[in-house]
Amino acid sequence: MAVLTRFAACVLAGCLVLGCSRGPSLVPVSGTVTVDGKPLQAGAVLVAPTGGRAAGGRIGADGRFTLSTWQPEDGVVAGSHRVEVIATKPLSGNRRQWLVPKKVRSLATSPLRLEITGPTTSAVIAIETGGETLEIESRDGTAAGEGLYLSPP
């Protein structure tokens, strides 16, 4: 019985020291995505640490998002994250208008970064279009044609 008790104590100590989870600790993170200072009203955000698992969340009508890594709203690992934002608005026919500039739609090209130091409900992902026109394209990814580009709202 003493051997079993010592074994259980060692397993418990190992879990406390090494952790019993499947990876690094997650911290709850939510916030707002803005485009030119106004809340983005739809879309999705993806944040990715270097060498770690990405987290993502949907953007609500109020511009708010909550990040999830393994399960809904479980959070993200602390650290520096690259940020990607995808947001479109359906138009008539087979067309859509992008609501964010092309450069932020890919982790590889996005200049956006999010520093996570602990739990927060006030993270801000601020996108500036700099006057760039936001494209309209057909849903198969081809350009919708000359003269169909719209200026940002």
Going from the N-terminus, what domains does the chain have, and what CATH number goes with each?
Answer: 24-138 (2.60.40)
Retrieve residue 95's tokens.
Answer: 């067309």
Profile the chain (153 residues) by mean pLDDT over runs of 10 residues.
40 44 84 97 96 95 98 96 96 92 96 97 96 83 46 35
Q: What is the pLDDT of residue 133?
A: 83
Across 58-89, b (16+ Cβ under 10 Å) vs e yields ebbeebbbbbbbeeeeebbbbeebbbbbbbbe
Q: What is the pLDDT of residue 150?
A: 35
User: Helix (H, G, I), strand (E, B), or coil: what is residue 58?
Assistant: strand
> By C-alpha distance, which of 60, 62, 65, 64 is closest to 46?
65
Cβ-contact 19, 13 below 8 angstroms: no
User: Helix (H, G, I), strand (E, B), or coil: what is residue 2?
Assistant: helix
